[in-house]
Amino acid sequence: MEHETKIRVPLWVYPSTFDEIKNLFETDNCKSPSEFIEKAINFYIGFLKQEKNVNYLSPRITSSVEAVINGSEQRINRNLFKIAVELGKLAHTIAAANEVDEDTLRELHSMCVDEVRHINGALSFESAVKFQNE
């Protein structure tokens, strides 16, 4: 654009619009109202082109985010499976080592449900030991 020769074009604007241009062109570091108008036109052209880019990029971004989410979901599911297997092994080991009757099991289940609700699922071994020693 720097090496192009400018051309003169007729421009029809309302007097109030031109008054705004005259009042603002210097605040935007423009040397003339003409430079201010050209800058505004270039800004609007960029805005229109960007609108087309958004329509192009939006589906691409969406598919990329979906792929990342799906990958994360699969890793979380695999880890949850591994944790469930380990928890099952622990439960069977504890059940084999201790004789627990049905009433005690129901009370334990109820107590654990209440505890997990109360602490919002943030269990720790230390808090369980402290509770058992009380």
Q: Which domain holds residue 116?
A: 100-134
Place of tokens 């439960």: 91
- What pLDDT shows up at residue 56? 64
Q: Is residue 27 part of a domain?
A: no
Angle between helix 15-24 and 33-97 (nearest 10): 80
More confident position, 105 or 58: 105
Residue 128 lies in a domain: yes
Nearest alpha carbon to residue 4 among 57, 42, 43: 42
pLDDT tens readout for residues 81-123: 999 999 888 888 888 888 888 888 888 888 888 888 887 777 7
SS3 of the chain: helix, strand, coil, percent, to 5: 75, 0, 25
Residue 30 lies in a domain: no
List, for residues 1-50, the tens digit of each pLDDT value.
668 888 988 999 999 999 999 999 999 899 999 999 999 998 888 888 88
Confidence (pTM): 0.44
DSSP-assigned letter for residue 7: -
